[in-house]
């Protein structure tokens, strides 16, 4: 499964970052839940690899389901792992359906994220690089970050599982305040494994959980609704990253927003239950190498745990002529 060309390409990127104004590297770390429950050594291998390569990684995005059963034992493992990145690599966490509930093993039956906010309190998270603010006082479930990589100013918004109408309103207001930033939406449930946005008839929709019964401002939204109510409305929304969905666990979609700009949307999930999954994901993570000058995004899937790359087209690909920022963006 090793792909020498990707290893060489990766090393080239790492050794040729003298022109950092034109390059960036983002790491996606989806659905760590099975590691927290059964295989903490696999998560440790991922975090240690990130630390080893810290000077080459601009930031890390985690797509939710940090835990499997939302209990203290698993949250302690997650906190210990991610705390190693503090002051070393900026990171953004998302809350998945397994990170909220009324009790241990209850998955999004109610919107209760007490343990998530206990182990990652806003008082400590606000001190990390790039932190902007949150949607709700004292809660990290929905937050935004402002991060600069080379010549690109990023606005990263992390959204709860099945974001409520009120949260999408908040996100819209934040994006309007940063019209010259390139926007990344980081959330748990958005894309489906057939490379479409999650919608009616798809499995694992937020509407199928207890929180899906909420109404009014608390009404949940699936991927297609997030697109219509948030993503497509802004000319500077550039990427959406999500996890959650099983089957193949991957999907890629490029759509045009209301202003005529492309939005790059990706699903990546390797957890237990995904086709071919071993040890809850076997350490697979995604590496996004961005070349702003050449307008190329290179995507690789790598496991520090087994030191291998996936080389099939779903896990290793390039998107060319990419819009990292709009023409009117200010550097």
Is residue 310 a contact partner of residue 316, using CB atoms and an 8 Å limit? yes
Q: What is the pLDDT of residue 327?
A: 56
Helix (H, G, I), strand (E, B) or coil at 176: helix
pLDDT tens digit sequence for 8-42 = 344 444 444 446 788 999 999 999 999 999 999 99
**Per-residue pLDDT at 4 exceeds 50:** no
What mean pLDDT is reported for the chain? Answer: 92
Which pLDDT score is estimated for 191?
Answer: 97
DSSP 46-110: HHHHHHHTGGG--EEE--S---SS--HHHHHHHHHHHHTTTTTS-EE----GGG-SSSTT--SSS
Q: What is the DSSP string of 9-44?
A: HHHHHHH-TT-GGGEEEEEE----HHHHHT-HHHHH
Predicted local distance difference test score (pLDDT) of residue 200: 96
Say if CB 94 and CB 83 are below 8 A apart. Answer: no
Residue extents of the structural domains in the chain:
4-320
> Residue 210 and residue 112: Cα distance in Å, rounded?
11
Per-residue pLDDT tens for 283-325? 999 999 999 999 999 999 999 999 999 999 999 999 999 989 8
- Comparing 284 with 4, the larger pLDDT belongs to 284
pLDDT > 90: percent of the chain = 87
Sign of CA dihedral 289, 84, 280, 249: negative
**Pairing mode, strands 285-291 and 182-187:** unpaired
Q: 3-class DSSP state for residue 322?
A: coil
- 3-state SS, residue 153: strand
Average pLDDT on 211-223 reads 97
CB 268 within 8 A of CB 30: yes
Gap between the Cα atoms of 165 and 285, Å rounded? 31
Q: What is the DSSP string of 170-226?
A: HHHHHHHH-TTSEEEEEESS-B-TTSSB--TT-TT-GGGSGGGG--GGG----HHHH
CATH of domain 4-320: 3.60.21.10
Residue 247 pLDDT grade (very low, low, confident, very high; cuts 50, 70, 90): very high
| Contact present, 29 and 270 (Cβ < 8 Å) | no
**DSSP structure class, residue 265:** E
Return the half-sphere exposure (C-beta side, CA atoms, 13 A cut-off) of residue 309.
19
- Split at pLDDT 50, 70, 90, the class of 280 is confident
Per-residue pLDDT of 101-147, as tens digits, reads 999 989 999 999 999 999 999 999 999 999 999 999 999 999 999 99
- 279 vs 50: CA distance, rounded Å: 20
Band of residue 331 on the pLDDT scale cut at 50, 70, 90: low
pLDDT higher than threshold 80 for residue 181: yes
Q: How confident is the model at residue 277 (pLDDT cuts 50, 70, 90)?
A: confident
Residue with token string 């307008």: 295
Q: Cα separation of 278 and 259, whole Å?
A: 42
């Amino acid at each position: 499964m090793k792909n020498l060309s990707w290893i060489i390409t990766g090393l080239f990127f790492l050794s040729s970052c003298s022109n950092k104004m034109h390059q960036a590297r983002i790491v996606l770390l989806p659905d760590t839940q099975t590691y927290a429950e059964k295989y903490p050594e696999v998560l440790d291998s991922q975090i240690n690899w990130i630390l080893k390569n810290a000077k080459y990684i601009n930031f890390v995005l985690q797509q939710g389901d940090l835990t499997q059963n939302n209990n203290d034992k698993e949250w302690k493992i997650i906190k210990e792992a991610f705390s190693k990145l503090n002051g070393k690599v900026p990171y953004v966490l998302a809350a998945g359906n397994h990170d909220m509930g009324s009790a241990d093993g209850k998955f999004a039956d109610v919107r209760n994220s007490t343990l998530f906010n206990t182990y990652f309190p806003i008082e400590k998270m606000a001190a990390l690089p790039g932190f902007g603010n949150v949607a709700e006082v004292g809660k990290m479930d929905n937050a935004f970050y402002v991060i600069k990589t080379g010549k690109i100013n990023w606005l990263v918004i992390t959204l709860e599982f099945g974001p409520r109408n009120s949260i999408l309103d908040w996100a819209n207001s934040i994006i309007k305040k940063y019209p010259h930033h390139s926007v990344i939406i980081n959330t748990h449930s958005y894309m489906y494994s057939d490379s479409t946005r999650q919608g009616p008839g798809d499995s694992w929709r937020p509407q199928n959980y207890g929180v899906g019964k909420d109404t009014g401002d608390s009404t949940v939204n699936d991927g297609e609704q997030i697109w219509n109510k948030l993503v497509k409305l802004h000319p500077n929304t550039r990427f959406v990253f999500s996890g959650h969905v099983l089957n193949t666990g991957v999907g890629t979609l490029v759509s045009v927003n209301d202003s005529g700009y492309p939005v790059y949307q990706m699903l990546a999930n390797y957890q237990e239950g995904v086709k071919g999954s071993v040890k809850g994901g076997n350490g697979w993570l995604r590496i996004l190498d961005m070349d702003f000058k050449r307008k190329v995004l290179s995507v690789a899937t790598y496991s520090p745990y087994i030191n291998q790359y996936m080389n099939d087209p779903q896990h290793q690909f390039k998107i060319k002529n990419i819009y990292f920022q709009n023409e009117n963006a200010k550097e």
